[in-house]
Amino acid sequence: MTAPENSIVYVNTSVDGENKNESGNHEAAVNGIPYATLSDAIANANDGETVTLLENADLKADITINKDITIDGQGQFKIDAQPEKSHAITVAPTTKLILKDVTLNITDEEEQTGTYGLNVQYGATLTLDNANVTLDGLSNATISSKPSTAGPEPGKFILKNSEITATNIGGNFSNGGDWILTNSTIEIRTVRRMALVVILLHWITLRFLSPTQI
């Protein structure tokens, strides 16, 4: 079944055992169909749809986004994510993911190896639109990996009125990507065991735009 264009997926999690939205005992609904978790809502969303948070949500496993969707936090809700084995959130080639008006915290326990926060693969685009992202306790904060089926263009990280803060990163802040910042900041704080957090400028294109250039 194909959902209507620009339809909205509503998501919320329970607070003290009590659900807070009109979906009754469910955390999400797509066109009247309820879903239990944010992961389920994303899995059932189609291209062009918006996942709208109604409460704070959790992502406790590696998740790959392979369709164009927007996740809207309505300016008040957050997502807490943790990588399971590799990348907490991967945006697949040719896919566009928009995180709008939301706080995203990707954290891992210290001394972990091989864990990443965001993987925007070659040909993919991640747009942060008035979003606040914290990356903490990871081996590496972000990466733009290149699957064999991907095109030649590195993944795009587009920040609009957004912030990324990286703390306790064991290795690099970023291993590649095309970064475009508009009224946005990237802050790299302390790292564990005195390891250096390095932005590999020879792999990254950084562009800073003013509002008149958008």
Q: Convert the pLDDT of each residue in 22-58 to its tens digit.
A: 444 455 555 556 677 888 888 889 999 888 887 788 8
49 in Cβ contact with 65 (< 8 Å): no
Which range is least confidently modeled, 24-33, 152-161, 168-177?
A: 24-33
Residue whose C-alpha is closest to residue 135's, from 88, 113, 167: 167
- pLDDT at res. 154: 93
Q: Convert the pLDDT of each residue in 77-108 to its tens digit.
A: 999 999 988 899 999 999 999 999 999 999 98
DSSP sequence for 11-69: E---BTTB--STTTT-SEEETTEEESSHHHHHHH--TTEEEEESS-EEE-S-EEE-S-E
- pLDDT at res. 150: 86
Highest mean pLDDT among 102-111, 117-126, 169-178: 117-126
Work out the mean pLDDT of the chain and round it to a whole number.
Answer: 79
Task: Give the integer Cα–Cα distance in Å for 23 and 103.
Answer: 23
Residue whose C-alpha is closest to residue 116's, from 96, 98, 135: 135
**pLDDT surpassing 80 at residue 152:** yes
**pLDDT surpassing 70 at residue 201:** no
DSSP sequence for 102-139: -EEEEE--TT--S-EEEEE-TT-EEEEES-EEEEES-S
Sign of CA dihedral 60, 62, 67, 68: positive
Which range is least confidently modeled, 4-8, 106-110, 139-143?
A: 4-8
- Quote the pTM value: 0.81
- pLDDT at res. 171: 82
